[in-house]
Amino acid sequence: MTATPFNPSHHQASTVSLPAGPWVTVLECLCAHFQAISRQQWLDRIARGRVLDASGQPISVDLAYRQGLRIHYFREVPNEKVIPAQESILHIDEHLVVADKPHFLPVTPTGEYVEHTLLRRLIRRLDNPHLVPLHRIDRHTAGLVLFSANPETRSAYQSLFPTRRIHKHYQAVAAALPDLNFPLTHCSRLVHGEPFFRMQEVAGVNNSETRVQVGEKMGDFWRYDLFPITGKTHQLRVHMMSLGACIRHDPFYPDVQPNGAEDDYAKPLQLLARGLRFDDPLSGESRQFESALRLQLLNDGFVGRG
């Protein structure tokens, strides 16, 4: 099988401004600055055109070092884990792309994931290097992600989020809470906890708010409709835990599971970004999108298409 040629337009480069130092070549500077990356790896990247100068041209191994020189490079993860779950595209126009993200797929490159991310997959699939996610959902969460496809109109759509002019609807499967009166609104102050990737509630001025109502009751587990007013990291997961019903198959709450680093495709987090609704900032038209995925109360951990 022939390998797919490297196309810089399908990737997002990182940029470094070279620091002051005694180096003769850019290669020497990169090796010293990024000690976790071997000289051989840098040589390999340069040979494959994955290290560029400020004008976007591949550098040579003997390019002279100069303080402040801007160098672009493309992150790579050796033996990156393949994520078999497949995204789908629900809508595309000149300004927006709406995708249905499966569980376990990151939205953007992070940590051990670079190529197996929703952003990189869509850039390759649509041949549009200008795609930028307008918001994020957790790697463990499935459902809708909205992308800007046009840099000229991006700011208009980005402004929907901080001004709370976009309405987000999530669904979750969690333990029944018969002693609470629904619908209800849960507010709290969320800050980073331990380990660093977990959030926790602390005393202080509220900075997170979620409206919760019951969608369906089915024995020991209910399906909840969640409407986040704010967008803090892990907000819905922590708020449901605080109410007394952690979302089913959550690897981080209430405790980090011993196998939290291992993806169990048979038991995905039962949290789905189900709907997005907003008035289009360009046309004024009311727009609404709904995920084709569904949480299944009776099928342990399964998310299927509707």
* Domains of the chain as residue ranges with CATH: 11-73 (3.10.290.10), 88-257+264-305 (3.30.2350.10)
DSSP class of 11: S
Query: What mean pLDDT value characterizes the chain?
Result: 89
Residues above pLDDT 70, as percent of the chain: 90
Q: How confident is the model at residue 12, as a pLDDT?
A: 63
Residues above pLDDT 90, as percent of the chain: 68
Q: What does the alpha-carbon distance between residue 18 and residue 13 come to, in Å, rounded to a whole number?
A: 15
DSSP string, 80-120: PPP-----EEEEE-SSEEEEEEPTT--SS-BTTBSSSSHHH
Q: How confident is the model at residue 301, as a pLDDT?
A: 42
Provide the b/e sequence for 28-51 (b: ≥16 CB within 10 Å).
ebbbeeeeeeeeeebeebbeeebb
Q: What does the alpha-carbon distance between residue 1 and residue 159 come to, in Å, rounded to a whole number?
A: 45
Beta strand 208-218 pairing with 199-202: unpaired
Mean pLDDT in residue range 229-250: 97
pLDDT at 9 over 70: no
Closest to 168 (Cα-Cα) out of 297, 290, 305: 290
What pTM was estimated for this model as a whole? 0.78
pLDDT at 4 over 70: no
Q: How confident is the model at residue 166, as a pLDDT?
A: 97
Q: What does the alpha-carbon distance between residue 58 and residue 7 come to, in Å, rounded to a whole number?
A: 12
Q: What does the alpha-carbon distance between residue 230 and residue 228 come to, in Å, rounded to a whole number?
A: 5
Query: Who's near 213: CB < 8 A, 6+ residues apart?
Result: 182, 183, 184, 224, 225, 227
Mean pLDDT in residue range 295-301: 61
Q: Which pLDDT band holds residue 259 (cuts at 50, 70, 90)?
A: low
Query: Who's near 210: CB < 8 A, 6+ residues apart?
Result: 185, 186, 187, 226, 227, 228, 229, 230, 235, 236, 239
CA atoms within 13 A on the CB side of 201: 17
Q: How confident is the model at residue 257, as a pLDDT?
A: 82
> For residues 137 and 87, is the Cβ–Cβ distance under 8 A?
no
